[in-house]
């Protein structure tokens, strides 16, 4: 089932304006899964999150939890949580990320995904957290709040969201953004922006609860491999 979705996402998408409301947007089963599983995961990972919080606090000055405004359901902004992985005031020290990667001998950074391999603003602890995706654990709180779902399109900052076509923007915000998704288990940081968007849209169109469960099952191996993460 997952392979079928991935393969079909490689074909051009038809116009999306005026399409029916996605099934996952109002699914009670999806929301129940989010609440139950997010609560269980928070309890299981709480000791690890405490250790991570201490490591972040001791490694560099600044808040332990980083807060950033992202675009959510219906284009409503919400505050996304994650463990801080950059030095304090990193946003005030902009760097050319593509140039930073070029200096490290790396090419092909996609500005939409904003996932360069070499960013001098990232702390040593932050680099490890990103490699294992542990910086995303606080987003389980976002899931419980109802800002996000466990599975869905990744939430974009406003600037990245507005670079999408009107059709793609409308489709992506017709559902809650997710902590993980189809493109995260299909290549993580090596996937192109175009393919990532196509996979997000295909997930929305073809959603059914077993697909969420399959993506969740594939998320753990994808995280543990860390081969395509930075």
Which pLDDT tens digit goes with each residue over 60-98? 889 999 999 999 999 999 999 999 999 877 665 555 444
pLDDT of residue 139: 97
Residue % of the chain over a pLDDT of 70: 72
Question: How far from each other are the two terminal CA atoms of the chain, in whole angstroms?
Answer: 28
Mean pLDDT in residue range 113-133: 80
Rounded CA-CA distance 188/35 in Å is 25
* DSSP at 83: E
Q: How far is CA 12 from CA 118, 165, 190, 197, 198, in A?
A: 32, 14, 21, 11, 8
User: 149-151 and 178-180: which strand pairing?
Assistant: parallel
Rounded CA-CA distance 60/84 in Å is 10
Query: Mapping DSSP to helix (H, G, I), strand (E, B) and coil, where does residue 227 land?
Result: coil
Residue 104 above 50 pLDDT? no
Closest CA to 134 of 123, 143, 125: 125
Query: Mapping DSSP to helix (H, G, I), strand (E, B) and coil, where does residue 70 land?
Result: strand
- pTM: predicted TM-score of the whole model, two decimal places: 0.79
- Helical H segments across 68-132, by residue range: 97-103, 124-131
- Bigger pLDDT: 184 or 36? 36
pLDDT of residue 69: 94
Chain-centroid distance, C-alpha 106: 23
**Taking the CB of residue 230, how many other CB atoms lie within 10 A of it?**
17
**Residue ranges of domains in the chain:** 26-87+94-225
pLDDT band at 212 (very low <50, low <70, confident <90, very high): very high
pLDDT band at 162 (very low <50, low <70, confident <90, very high): confident
- Bigger pLDDT: 97 or 193? 193
Helix 28-59, helix 209-225: angle, nearest 10: 20
pLDDT of residue 22: 74
Mean pLDDT, rounded, of the chain: 80
Residue 214 above 90 pLDDT? yes
Closest CA to 175 of 73, 79, 78: 73
Query: Mapping DSSP to helix (H, G, I), strand (E, B) and coil, where does residue 51 land?
Result: helix
Closest CA to 85 of 128, 115, 114, 48: 128
């Amino acid at each position: 089932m997952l392979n079928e979705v991935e393969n079909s996402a490689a074909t051009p998408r038809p116009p999306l304006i005026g399409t029916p409301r996605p099934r996952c947007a109002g699914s009670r089963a999806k929301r129940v899964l989010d609440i139950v599983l997010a609560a269980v995961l928070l309890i299981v990972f709480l000791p690890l999150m405490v250790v991570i919080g201490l490591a972040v606090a001791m490694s560099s000055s600044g808040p332990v939890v980083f807060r950033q405004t992202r675009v959510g359901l219906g284009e409503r902004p919400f505050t996304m949580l994650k463990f801080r992985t950059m030095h304090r005031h990193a946003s005030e020290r902009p760097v050319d990320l593509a140039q930073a990667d070029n200096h490290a001998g790396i090419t092909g950074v996609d500005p939409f995904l904003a996932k360069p391999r070499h960013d001098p603003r990232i702390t040593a602890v932050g680099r490890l957290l990103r490699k294992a995706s542990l910086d995303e654990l606080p987003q389980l709180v976002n899931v419980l709040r109802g800002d996000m779902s466990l599975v869905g399109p990744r939430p974009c900052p406003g600037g990245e969201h507005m670079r999408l076509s009107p059709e793609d923007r409308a489709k992506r915000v017709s559902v809650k953004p997710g902590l993980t998704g189809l493109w995260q288990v299909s290549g993580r940081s090596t996937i192109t922006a175009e393919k990532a968007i196509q996979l997000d849209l295909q997930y929305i169109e073809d959603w059914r609860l077993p697909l969420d469960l399959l993506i969740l099952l594939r998320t753990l191996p994808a995280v543990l491999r860390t081969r395509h993460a930075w």
